[in-house]
A and B are shown apart, each in its own frame.
Chain A
Amino acid sequence: MSVLVFVEPEDELSLQALALARTLGEVRAVSIEGAYAPAAWAQALVEAATDAEAIVAAGSDRGNELLAHVAARLDQPFAANVTAVAGDTVTRIRWGGSLIEEARLHGSPRILTVAPHTQPAAEPVAVQQLSLAADADTTVRVLETVAESSGGVSLRDAKVVVSGGRGVGSSEAFAIIEELAGLLGAAVGCSRVVTSAGWRPHTDQVGQTGTKISADLYVACGISGATQHIAGAKGAKKILAINSDPEAPIFSTADYAVVGDLHEIVPAISAELRRVRS
Chain B
Amino acid sequence: MRVLVCVKRVPITGGKMVLTADEQALETRHLGFTISPHEECGVEEAVRLVEANGGETVVLTLGPAEAEEQLRDCMAIGADRGILLRTDGGDWDAQSTAAAIVDAIRGEEPFDLILFGNESADTGNYQVGIRVAHALGLPVVNGLKKIELQGDQVRCERDAGGTRDVYVVPTPAVLSVLEGLNLPRYPSVPGRLRAKSKPLAVVELARPEQKLEKLRLVVPPGQGKQAEILGEGAAAAPKVVELMQQLGVA
Contact = CB atoms under 8 A, between A and B. Distances in A.
A201 B168 CA distance: 26
A64 B230 contact: no
Contacts of B243: 240, 256
B208 interface: no
Interface stretch (B60-68, B74-82, B190-198, B232-240): B232-240
A21 interface: no
B229 A209 contact: no
Interface string B145-171: 000000000000101111111111110
B163 A146 contact: yes
Given A99-B217, A202-B180, A69 B212 contact: no
A205 B180 contact: yes
Interface in A48-79: 61, 64-65, 68-69, 71-73, 75-79
Interface string B130-149: 11011100011111000000
Given A100-B218, A146-B164, A216-B249, A257 B139 contact: no
State the 8 A-B residue pairs at the shortest beta-carbon distance, nearest first. A249-B15, A202-B180, A68-B127, A268-B234, A260-B233, A257-B227, A77-B211, A72-B134
Contacts of B180: 195, 201-203, 205, 210
A83 to B, nearest CB: 10
Contacts of B139: 39, 139-140
B121 A255 contact: no
Q: Looking at chain A, what size class is its interface with the partner chain?
A: 35 or more
Interface string B90-125: 000111001000000000000000000001011111
Contact of B166 (A94, A145, A154, A259): A145
Contact of A249 (B14, B142, B250): B14
Contacts of B52: none
Nearest to B178: A209
A252 B134 contact: no
Contacts of B168: 143
Nearest to A36: B165
Contacts of B26: 99
A201 B15 CA distance: 23
B93 A77 contact: yes
22 contacts: A65-B130, A68-B131, A72-B131, A77-B93, A77-B94, A80-B124, A99-B219, A209-B36, A216-B247, A226-B13, A227-B16, A248-B15, A249-B15, A251-B227, A252-B224, A256-B243, A257-B227, A258-B230, A267-B234, A271-B237, A272-B237, A272-B238
Contacts of A224: 15
Contacts of B134: 69, 72-73
Interface of B: 13-17, 26, 36-38, 93-95, 98, 119, 121-127, 130-131, 133-135, 139-143, 157, 159-170, 178-180, 183-184, 210-220, 222-238, 240-241, 243-245, 247-250
A204 to B, nearest CB: 10
A125 B197 CA distance: 61
A195 B183 CA distance: 8
A226 B14 contact: yes
Contact of A76 (B124, B125, B211, B219): B211
Question: Which of B38, B163, B213 has most chain A Cβ within 10 Å?
Answer: B213
Given A68-B131, A209-B38, A260-B233, A102 B178 contact: no
A175 interface: no
Question: Which of B211, B228, B233 has most chain A Cβ within 10 Å?
Answer: B211
A105 B214 CA distance: 9
A36 B167 CA distance: 10
B164 A147 contact: yes
Contact of A226 (B15, B36, B224): B15
B164 A258 contact: no
Contacts of B135: 72
Nearest to A260: B233
B233 A209 contact: no
B141 A104 contact: no
A38 interface: yes
Given A99-B219, A102-B215, A227 B249 contact: no
A133 interface: no
A140 B241 CA distance: 51
Given A80-B126, A255-B228, 20 more contacts: A68-B130, A77-B211, A77-B212, A80-B125, A95-B17, A96-B124, A99-B219, A100-B219, A101-B216, A103-B212, A104-B215, A144-B166, A146-B164, A156-B162, A160-B249, A228-B37, A240-B243, A248-B15, A252-B15, A259-B229
